[in-house]
Amino acid sequence: MDGIKAAGRALFGGSFNPPHVGHLRLAIEMAETLRPLAAGVELTPCATPPHKVAGGLLPFDLRAAMVEACLDGLPGLSCNRMEAGRPGLSYTWDTLRACREETPERPLFFILGSPDYALLPHWHRGLELPCLCQLVVVPRGEGSEKNFLAATQSMWPGAQPCEPVLPGSRRMRLPGGGLVHFVPLPWISVSASRIRHRWLHGLNVDFLVPRPVLDLLDAHRETVLAHWLPEPRPD
């Protein structure tokens, strides 16, 4: 197989409500880290999140448009709108299964932050996701690597460390044969909740979100105000 056809896919799911520099730096550095195992990173906005979104969710098209606006000129990064085409709740299980069916010959990776990784037992078929893809966990907060090892052992007792294949990473093999990676990328202390809070209070969000995101939020001000709800101060 030639390089591109053989290369895998890497999905990075999120609500992207809105996308911010934490998401984007992570996507850029993961695309570099996964090369040549994956051809790039597909930022995949969640259409209908299964869990309640505390701060109010912007319409899918606006969130996807913000993601697309950020990716202009960034090689290897793309926006995957596949969840919009599916009725009902957007389960990651269904998304990854559909990818497997689309491209069965290509390895599949799913990237997620360490706090979300620890919550997999609460996701629909969360503990079965490694049957469909390799999970790639990235830090979000201090002590993430220790938490990764503990969370992996507790979710899949008998998981064993194995030879890493991604630069500077840890890798574990699960009893059923699945693989999970921990990639210690630097993380930026920013969240969409903090950005929503600041934007709703008229506070400056420059450099927390790329300029095209800010422009879209301003251009769709009425829609944004109709969807985002005031939340308790997140920091």
Q: Which residues bind ligand ATP (CB under 6 A)?
A: 14-17, 22-23, 26, 112-113, 115-116, 138, 140, 187-188, 190-193
- Distance between the two ends of the chain, CA-based, in angstroms? 49
In terms of CB distance, is 171 or 197 closer to ligand ATP? 197
Is there a contact between 169 and 32 (Cβ–Cβ < 8 Å)? no
SS3 content of the chain, % helix, strand, coil (to 5): 40, 20, 40
CB of 70 to ligand ATP, least distance (A): 13
CB of 185 to ligand ATP, least distance (A): 8
Residue nearest to ligand ATP (CB): 113
Is there a contact between 133 and 147 (Cβ–Cβ < 8 Å)? no
In terms of CB distance, is 32 or 160 closer to ligand ATP? 32
CB of 226 to ligand ATP, least distance (A): 17
In terms of CB distance, is 159 or 183 closer to ligand ATP? 183
Q: In whole angstroms, how far apart are CA 139 and each of 135, 171, 183, 191, 195?
A: 13, 14, 7, 13, 20
In terms of CB distance, is 189 or 204 closer to ligand ATP? 189
Between CA 108 and CA 39 the distance in angstroms is 10
CB of 193 to ligand ATP, least distance (A): 3
CB of 112 to ligand ATP, least distance (A): 4
Between CA 6 and CA 122 the distance in angstroms is 33
- Residue 69 neighbours by CB under 8 Å, 6+ apart: 210, 212, 213, 215, 216
DSSP 139-152: --STTHHHHHHHHH
CB of 93 to ligand ATP, least distance (A): 15
In terms of CB distance, is 172 or 195 closer to ligand ATP? 195
In terms of CB distance, is 193 or 223 closer to ligand ATP? 193
